[in-house]
Structure 1
Amino acid sequence: MHRTPLTLMLLSALTLGSANALTTVKIASLAPLSGGQSAIGMQARNGIQLAVAEYKPQFRKLGFDLQFVPFDDQADPATGTAAARKIAADRQILAVVGAMNSGVTIPASAALQASRVALVSPASTANNVTDRGLSNMNRIVPRDDAQGPAGAQFLKTNLKARKVYILNDKTAYGEGLAKEVEKTLKASGVSVITNEGTEEKSDFSSIVAKIRLQKPDAIYFGGIYNQVGVFLKQLRESGVTVPVVGGDGLDSQDLLKIAGKGAQNVFFTTGAAPVEALPAAKAFAAAYQKTFRQPAQGFAVFGYDAAKVTLQGILNAARSNGNKLPSRTQVEQAVRKGTFKGLLSGTTSFNSVGDRKAATLYVMKVGDGKIRLSTSVPVKPPKS
């Protein structure tokens, strides 16, 4: 067919019109993409990115161009809250995956509440994340009052500890976990030497000296891998070999790099299952390796799952709205009330305050340059 300039102009206009007919829909993420905690933040972001790529065709069928906007909160509450305000101002962003750190999630979700922007956190465990009763706040990981007691029970039953030295990093996350561990240990007759808060990042010599003097059977550290890794290195170099237990803040391969030979006889609880423990995750692990040239870790799985909840919530809201663009309020309600199947970590639904109704905690063992599954514990949130 001979195409005249006029024909070409008409075809070009039709093509542009078709492209412009797609309505942009965005989801955002809040995670530390730079700084000392970037390893877990990047894992989560990569998992979210894979979920977005998977859901793009479903959104396109409804006339939506799905876009992903990652924000770097640097694990800092002020930075995360500033990012939340930017998210609120962008009306194309309908929901957020994040944040990772409870200390960021709490103020960021409060900043987004008035705009009715739904959040699904893949990592924040502090009780107050959901105890505030915000309609926009949800999470797919167990709370501190599930994870803390599980860690305490492991200390008593599996490690046979009778005297425990507790440390925390003075954040909402670390203090919350340490408090729950202390409470559970004391109630079960285990002696707690102290629950000491520290923001130290490089020189733990004074704390190690006190530990050597007190001679605990085990140590619990409510903190993040970048801080705990340095502590482990110095603790082991001092000759202290007792078990060290922590929460999911230790869930990173970078713990092995930072602690070096000190990464021995270490355990941590996490809601993010190792990929090898999830039969449904084989295809995901292969896609992750192919896309990012590195193996998927636990927070990649939970970033992916939190994103799937978020994206399916938006689709559910759109379909309930006659396949039209839903409002933020409609998305918020669809996320809270939905039942989400096909997740790597199992079917998910939320109670009235945004806690996952049923989940599994995993206890991981660190040693000999590897992180392995030790045991698993089913958990339920407290009644809301």
Structure 2
Amino acid sequence: MKKTALSLSVLAALALGSASAQTTVKIATLSPLSGGQSDLGLQIRNGAQLAVNEYKAQFQRLGMNLQLVAYDDQADPATGTAQARKIASDRAILAVVGTLNSGVAIPSSQALASSRVAMVSPANTANQVTDRGLSNMNRIVARDDAQGPAGANFITGNLKAKKVYILNDKTAYGEGLAKEVEKALKAKGTQVVGNEGTEEKSDFSSIVAKIRLQKPDAIYFGGIYNQVGVFIKQLRENGITTPVVGGDGLDSSELATIAGKGASNIYFTTVAAPIEALPAAKTFAANFQKTFNDGAQGFGAFGYDAAKVVLQGILKAAQANGNKAPSRQQVEAAIRKGSFTGLLSGNVSFNSVGDRKAATLYVMNVEGGKYKLATSVPVRPVRQ
């Protein structure tokens, strides 16, 4: 009896010693978890959490306790930058999945650069996100200078529009996208009858009046679903059925909810594939629903993929470091130079500035509140 008790105590001590010997390794997500854009931000966080759940055992075998910590940037550049500084101060965090908004990514990645904390974005499209040449900033989605022309091509080729009214939300994302669309439309000889930025969130009556006067064949709005949905609702309530086209900021199931009965004749390009367009996503979608009691959307899948890039990068760096926890600098280099497989959206590798070498854009159509895939377009950045 005493021998058994002693043996158990020894085993317990060994187990405790083994547990205490584990090195805690963290990755962070940085996305809006509260506020008007939280639907997409939570998708990113939850997708990343599924990837962490899958990789925990691999890290455990190397003596590393893998954790995910989620930071709320509230879709606000100042908040995101403050959160980035908190991330930098936690030395256990080796890399970040985020952000949703380009306007948040730009200052946040700059704040993380000196600490060599790598970022892999599942969503940022503004050209300047990577054009600044930061060694820690990467993205797995196409840029505005690919998404803008794709939207313009759809407007002229599919919608046959001759006159277009352009709006943007006055953010780095919306302005950048609208600029690329305008440039592409003008190159095709399409008339831009209006082009303005607005931070309005609730009363679009003055803009609707201008649109009624100009009678465009299509409206392009570079913005986010929570703002654009209200605009569409008011546009339709005023009897204007003109097609509304946007970018991936409209890629949320909440768009149709906000637009209500007006959720028809809407199109948007998106860098995050709809789940049905990803053959490998069936199991992921089922796990997402089971784990979070919520349906997976495109940014959930791309949050998952971005996290897998981060986790594979950390494992590659650990392997090069004698199977021990790597430094942030080693992880940063491994992510930029690596080739990553087993992702829902296909294999990933980055060019010299952190752009994905081969990406796909999707055009979605919303009719009667229902979303369906219209077409897809393969794209590549200018630099390989």
TM-score range, shorter chain: over 0.9
Aligned partners of 2:322, 2:5: CA distance in 1, in Å?
Answer: 40
Aligned partners of 1:304, 1:334: CA distance in 2, in Å?
Answer: 19
Give a deviation string over 1:7-49, Cα, whole Å, max 9, x none. 4443332121011111000000100000000000011111001
Q: Which residue of 1 aligns with 2:237?
A: 237
Q: Which residue of 2 aligns with 1:296?
A: 296
Aligned amino acid, residue 179 of structure 2: K
Shift, 1:194, TM fit: 2.0
Alignment of 1:142-291 (within 5 A): 142-291=142-291
Q: Which residue of 1 aligns with 2:129?
A: 129
Q: Which residue of 2 aligns with 1:61?
A: 61
CA RMSD of aligned residues (A): 1.0
Aligned amino acid, residue 109 of structure 2: S
Aligned partners of 1:158, 1:264: CA distance in 2, in Å?
Answer: 16
Aligned partners of 1:56, 1:107: CA distance in 2, in Å?
Answer: 31
**Comparing 290-299 and 230-239, the one that deviates more:** 290-299
Q: Which residue of 1 aligns with 2:42?
A: 42
Aligned amino acid, residue 221 of structure 1: F
**Comparing 3-12 and 304-313, the one that deviates more:** 3-12
Shift, 1:79, TM fit: 0.5
Aligned partners of 1:9, 1:273: CA distance in 2, in Å?
Answer: 53
Aligned partners of 1:30, 1:3: CA distance in 2, in Å?
Answer: 52
Q: Which residue of 1 aligns with 2:358?
A: 358
Shift, 1:154, TM fit: 0.3
* Structure 2: tracts of 5 or more residues without a match: none
Q: Which residue of 2 aligns with 1:138?
A: 138
Q: Secondary structure at the match of 1:383?
A: coil
Aligned amino acid, residue 239 of structure 1: G
Q: Which residue of 1 aligns with 2:338?
A: 338
Aligned partners of 1:289, 1:167: CA distance in 2, in Å?
Answer: 35
Give a deviation string over 1:157-191, Cα, whole Å, max 9, x none. 00000000000000000000000000000011000
Aligned amino acid, residue 353 of structure 1: V
Q: Which residue of 2 aligns with 1:322?
A: 322
Give a deviation string over 1:57-111, Cα, whole Å, max 9, x none. 1111111000000000000001000000001110000000001100000000000
Alignment of 1:115-126 (within 5 A): 115-126=115-126
Q: Secondary structure at the match of 1:364?
A: strand
Aligned partners of 2:248, 2:22: CA distance in 1, in Å?
Answer: 40
Shift, 1:5, TM fit: 5.6
Aligned partners of 1:243, 1:368: CA distance in 2, in Å?
Answer: 13
Aligned partners of 1:11, 1:55: CA distance in 2, in Å?
Answer: 27
**Comparing 365-374 and 68-77, the one that deviates more:** 365-374
**Comparing 288-297 and 137-146, the one that deviates more:** 288-297
Moved over 3 A (4+): 1-9
Aligned amino acid, residue 78 of structure 1: A
Give a deviation string over 1:271-314, Cα, whole Å, max 9, x none. 11111111111110111111111211100010000000000000
Give a deviation string over 1:351-380, Cα, whole Å, max 9, x none. 000000001000000111211100000000
Q: Secondary structure at the match of 2:68?
A: strand
Q: Which residue of 1 aligns with 2:84?
A: 84
Q: Secondary structure at the match of 2:286?
A: helix
